[in-house]
Amino acid sequence: MILDLHAHSIKSDDGRAKVQNYCQWIKTRNIPIDGFVLTEHRQFDNESDYSDLAEKHGLTILKGSEVETEYGHVLVFGVTPALQSAFDFSNINLPLATVIEACQRHGAVAVPCHPGRKRVGLAAHLSEHGAPEGVPIVEVYNGGSRGEEDAVAQNMADELGYRGIGGSDAHIVSHIGRCATEFSAPIHCEQDLVAALQGAQFKAVKLNLEA
């Protein structure tokens, strides 16, 4: 099963894609993914229910978040009300250690994203802060990466022993599915996703779509 683990809708401040349009694009363009995770910036979308849309299009649509720390941006999977109470998702200066500890305590997973990117990526902060503790996974393929950013991410992952996921980081419809993550078992809900990530049952993939 292949999921795009990093996408943004109009719920994000810089997102320009409606979720229904992502679904339509995936199906009409035969994008080879089985679903995607909406990781809205600095928030968790408690309001939206995409179950009918997912059923209509035969896709898995899950929700996560993208938060900001001193090490750069971090995807959070398995968000629960208890986790939302553990730290302020809107805070742009979250300590990564706080995010990791809260995720571990509440059964979620924290994954630094686009780690090869300047300023907002993990690799850019290693010389100042050192390698963070408690990070088993990073995003090694990002659909919005430029130049050598993914190479930097992969080299860092190899050096520090991180496993890798992929996500498109789509903000517009045509970018969905550029990078994704292949799982060895079906993913039906956020709990399945967390279990698969914790069990290392996945690999990052680049789909190299012409669109």
Per-residue pLDDT of the chain (211 residues), as tens digits, is 999 999 999 999 999 999 999 999 999 999 999 999 999 999 999 999 999 999 999 999 999 999 999 999 999 999 999 999 999 999 999 999 999 999 999 999 999 999 999 999 999 999 999 999 999 999 999 999 999 999 999 999 999 999 999 999 999 999 999 999 999 999 999 999 999 999 988 999 999 776 4
Task: Please give the Cα distance from 128 to 177 (Å, whole number).
Answer: 33
Continuous segment of H or E residues that includes residue 55: helix 51-57
User: Whole-model pTM?
Assistant: 0.97
DSSP letter at 94?
B
Q: So where are the chain's domains?
A: 2-206
At position 128, the amino acid (one-letter code) is: E
| Two tokens, residue 102 | 């809260």
Is domain 2-206 in CATH 3.10.20.810, yes or no?
no
User: What is the predicted pLDDT for the residue at 211?
Assistant: 45
Rg over alpha carbons for the chain, rounded to the nearest Å, is: 16
C-alpha of 194 from chain center: 12
Strand 35-41 to strand 2-7: parallel, antiparallel, or no bridges (unpaired)? parallel
Q: Which residues pair with 207 in a beta bridge?
A: none
List, as one string, the DSSP characters of 143-157.
Answer: TT--TTHHHHHHHHH
User: What is the predicted pLDDT for the residue at 88?
Assistant: 98
The model's pLDDT over 152-181, given as tens digits with 9 standing for 90+, comes to 999 999 999 999 999 999 999 999 999 999
User: What is the predicted pLDDT for the residue at 209?
Assistant: 72
Q: Which residues pair with 73 in a beta bridge?
A: 68
Task: Please give the Cα distance from 158 to 44 (Å, whole number).
Answer: 31
C-alpha of 70 from chain center: 18
User: What is the predicted pLDDT for the residue at 210?
Assistant: 61
Task: Please give the Cα distance from 199 to 208 (Å, whole number).
Answer: 27
